[in-house]
Amino acid sequence: MITFESVTKRYADGTVAADDVSFEVPEGELVVLVGPSGCGKTTTLRMVNRMIEPTDGRITVNGEDAASVPAPRLRRDIGYVIQQVGLFPHLTIADNVATVPSLIGWDKERIGERVEELINTVGLSQEVASRYPRQLSGGQQQRVGVARALAADPPIMLMDEPFGAVDPIVRESLQDEFLRLQRELKKTILFVTHDIDEAMKMGDRIAIFNVGGILEQYATPTDLLATPANDFVVDFLGAERNLKRLALIPVSAVEHEIGPLVSEDDSSSRAQEVARESGTDWVLVTDTEKQVKGWVSINDLDGQGTVGEAEIQPFDTFVTQDESLRAALDGMVESHLNVAVRVDGDGRYEGVVTHNTLTGELK
Amino acid sequence: MAQSLFDWSWVLDNLGEIWAQLAEHIVLTVVPVGLGFLMAFPMALASIRWPRLYSPLLGVAGILFSIPTLALFVVMIPFTGLSKATAIIPLTLYTLLILLRNTVEGLKGVPSHVREAAEAMGYTRTRQLFRIELPLAVPVIIAGLRIATVNTIAYVAITALIGQGGLGNLFMDGFLRQYPTPLIVGLVLSVLLAVAADLGLLGVQHVLTPWQRDPG
């Protein structure tokens, strides 16, 4: 756990990088510091491992006042990842990863095993161990940076725009992999970015900073989007705030309805009755294996014996429980029916998410 | 009587003398460069630790470097006579500017993010200097040693005027006797010595910086 208690950083020239900042990073959570340049987010981060000393206030790291621990010792318990990576060019990848374990005096064998394990953990092949940093791509270097930070299994990690220097595709996969890793490792992480979308994606909680080191709001991503504290936060969250909220809510979090469901063997009159009962002018058709065939307009059922004889329109988009409500909205727009069809992992019908459910969720 | 430009028989007759002067030349190069580095290195560390020292130190080294060689040797004579020290002390002082500047610039050239990472990993200041910054400064430091060494090899010859001189004695001999052979031998050997020293230091750099070699 990291706590900031009324922390202020004022430079000699009068610039304020942190203005009476108080917040708490709970154990095992990833907290993102985000804001425009000049808002002091990096300074705030660097005060935790005393790369920068606060002018006022107190920072505790796992209950201990950071200022009371000798800086080198404090830092060995705090992983550190920066945008430029900062690998040591003259050391092999293995030696780079081994940095902190060597500093704290692990024996050779233990270091060797740990390095091998970490190279796997961050998704690199063992061949890179004997290479030098400049022989690796930017994305690979960034992975080594993460491995090096994790080496001595520090309970706390500081990450300053760690994925900022790689291209968008690599960045996205590094983010996904890191989130997967974090679910296992449950580190207490402070993460700086200027990109609100990255903040939304990575953060359990987000601290939005304004120029002059002012902490404007500290909340979970969903709370931020639902109840932004002021105009600055609204502006910073950007356009399409509701779409962003939908993107954060999984389909599994909302009710789904059974919908006007019929089987392709059902009679047309039965299908028309189902539609009438649910107040729609269409029915949703599945086969006996519960695979979705599509939908049929009740007008097309006139004069047909069974539903299967009518013209069935296919759905182009389905959602599964792990997808977001934003994907569900996309499905609705696609089908013109105001519903998104929810299926399980094997494509079997589970129900529909309705437009009303979405708007209800946004209220 | 027509005298040939180069007389091999002189070379054969004086092989011992030639070797002795070459050895002397090497000593008069290695000792000043070594001493110069021993002096410049702590000065460079101090300049990094207390940046305000750098300018004055560099200034003094620059003034020393600008004193004409011969003048400095002559100034030394009342104190140290015609001894080796009379040659070695000025030669050492001449190396300071280059060695100090290159060592400081080499250390300053370590990328700030590398330094930041080292600090954040929990390196102590001294350990960071010796484990991270110095190894990375090696190419620039060795570049300084190469210039200083080649310069010193040239200056050594001048010390023949104060009774030292290594290969410079061969120049003097040839000049005074209007006899080109020793002059040519001295010249060729000092050029070869400079080239050999330069390549040798390059080799040392190659060994010390495996991380700079191209991926195999």
From A316, A304, A318, A312, select the one nearest A346 (Cα to Cα): A318
Question: Considering only CB atoms, which chain B residues are within 8 Å of A104?
Answer: 122
CB-CB contact of B165 with B158 (8 Å): yes
Asked if the structure places residue B72 within a domain, the reply is yes
For residues A320 and B185, give the distance between their C-alpha atoms in angstroms, rounded to a whole number.
89
Question: Considering only CB atoms, which chain B residues are within 8 Å of A84?
Answer: 111, 113
Comparing CB atoms, the residue among A78, A90, A104 nearest residue B135 is: A90
Asked if the structure places residue B1 within a domain, the reply is no
Continuous segment of H or E residues that includes residue A9: strand A2-10
Q: Note the pLDDT of residue A26.
A: 96
Helix (H, G, I), strand (E, B) or coil at A227: coil
User: Is B121 close to A82, i.e. CB distance below 8 A?
Assistant: no
- Of all residues in chain B, the one with the smallest CA distance to A99 is B121
Question: Considering only CB atoms, which chain B residues are within 8 Å of A75?
Answer: 119-122
Asked if the structure places residue B177 within a domain, the reply is yes
User: Is A51 close to B209, i.e. CB distance below 8 A?
Assistant: no
**pLDDT tier, B204 (very low <50, low <70, confident <90, very high otherwise):** very high
Asked if the structure places residue B3 within a domain, the reply is no
Asked if the structure places residue B213 within a domain, the reply is no
Give, for all 363 residues of chain A, the pLDDT tens digit.
Answer: 999 999 999 999 999 999 999 999 999 999 999 999 989 999 999 999 999 999 999 999 999 999 999 999 999 999 999 999 999 999 999 999 999 999 999 999 999 999 999 999 999 999 999 999 999 999 999 999 999 999 999 999 999 999 988 888 989 999 999 999 999 999 999 999 999 989 999 999 999 999 999 999 999 999 999 899 999 999 999 888 888 888 888 899 898 899 999 998 888 889 999 999 988 999 999 988 889 999 999 888 888 888 888 889 998 889 999 899 999 998 888 888 889 999 998 889 999 999 888 888 887
Question: Considering only CB atoms, which chain A residues are within 8 Å of B127?
Answer: 103
Residue B137 has pLDDT above 80, yes or no: yes
Q: What share of chain A is helix, strand, coil (3-state, %, to 5)?
A: 40, 25, 35
Asked if the structure places residue B139 within a domain, the reply is yes
From A18, A27, A84, A19, select the one nearest A46 (Cα to Cα): A18
Q: Note the pLDDT of residue B1.
A: 42
Q: Note the pLDDT of residue A219.
A: 96
Residue B168 has pLDDT above 60, yes or no: yes
Q: Note the pLDDT of residue B96.
A: 96
**Tokens 């092999």 sit at which residue?**
A92
The alpha carbon dihedral of A298, A299, A303, A307 has a sign of negative
The alpha carbon dihedral of A54, A55, A60, A65 has a sign of positive
Question: Considering only CB atoms, which chain B residues are within 8 Å of A103?
Answer: 121-123, 127
Comparing CB atoms, the residue among A49, A91, A92 nearest residue B120 is: A49
Strand partners, A250: A324
Comparing CB atoms, the residue among B116, B122, B211 nearest residue A89 is: B211
For residues A327 and A102, give the distance between their C-alpha atoms in angstroms, rounded to a whole number.
48
Question: Considering only CB atoms, which chain B residues are within 8 Å of A89?
Answer: 114, 136, 211
From B142, B163, B135, B150, select the one nearest B74 (Cα to Cα): B163
User: Is A49 close to B132, i.e. CB distance below 8 A?
Assistant: no
- Look up residue B189 and give its amino acid: L
Asked if the structure places residue B197 within a domain, the reply is yes
| Domain region containing B30 | 8-207
Residue B215 has pLDDT above 70, yes or no: no
Interface membership of B121 toward A (CB under 8 Å): yes
Residue B216 has pLDDT above 70, yes or no: no
CB-CB contact of A23 with A7 (8 Å): no
- Report the mean per-residue pLDDT for chain B: 92
For B75, residues 6+ apart whose C-beta sits below 8 A from its C-beta are none
- Look up residue B97 and give its amino acid: L
Interface membership of A82 toward B (CB under 8 Å): yes
Write the pLDDT tens digit of every residue in B36-68: 999 999 999 999 999 999 999 999 999 999 998
Write the pLDDT tens digit of every residue in A65-96: 999 999 999 999 999 999 999 999 999 999 99
User: Is B136 close to A103, i.e. CB distance below 8 A?
Assistant: no
Q: Note the pLDDT of residue B20.
A: 93
- Hey, how many other C-beta atoms are within 10 angstroms of the C-beta on A111? 21
Q: Specify the range with the lowest mean pLDDT, choosing from A52-56, B72-76, B189-193.
A: B72-76
Residue B214 has pLDDT above 80, yes or no: no
For residues B216 and B214, give the distance between their C-alpha atoms in angstroms, rounded to a whole number.
6
Q: What is the ipTM of this complex?
A: 0.85
- The string of DSSP codes covering A76-103 is HTEEEEETT----TTS-HHHHHTHHHHH
DSSP state for residue A13 in the 8-state scheme: T
Q: How many domains does chain B have?
A: 1
Query: For residue B168, what is the domain's CATH number?
Result: 1.10.3720.10
Asked if the structure places residue B215 within a domain, the reply is no
Interface membership of A51 toward B (CB under 8 Å): yes
Question: Considering only CB atoms, which chain A residues are within 8 Å of B122?
Answer: 71-76, 100, 103-104
Residue range B8-14: average pLDDT? Answer: 90
Helix (H, G, I), strand (E, B) or coil at A295: strand
Q: Which tokens belong to A303?
A: 């004069």
Interface membership of B216 toward A (CB under 8 Å): no
Interface membership of B116 toward A (CB under 8 Å): yes
For residues B72 and B74, give the distance between their C-alpha atoms in angstroms, rounded to a whole number.
5
- Hey, how many other C-beta atoms are within 10 angstroms of the C-beta on A57? 16
Residue range B148-161: average pLDDT? Answer: 92
Mutate which of A81, A84, A90, A144 to disrupt the B interface (most B C-beta within 10 Å)?
Answer: A90
CB pairs under 8 A between A and B: 66
Domains of chain A: 2-250 (3.40.50.300), 252-362 (3.10.580.10)
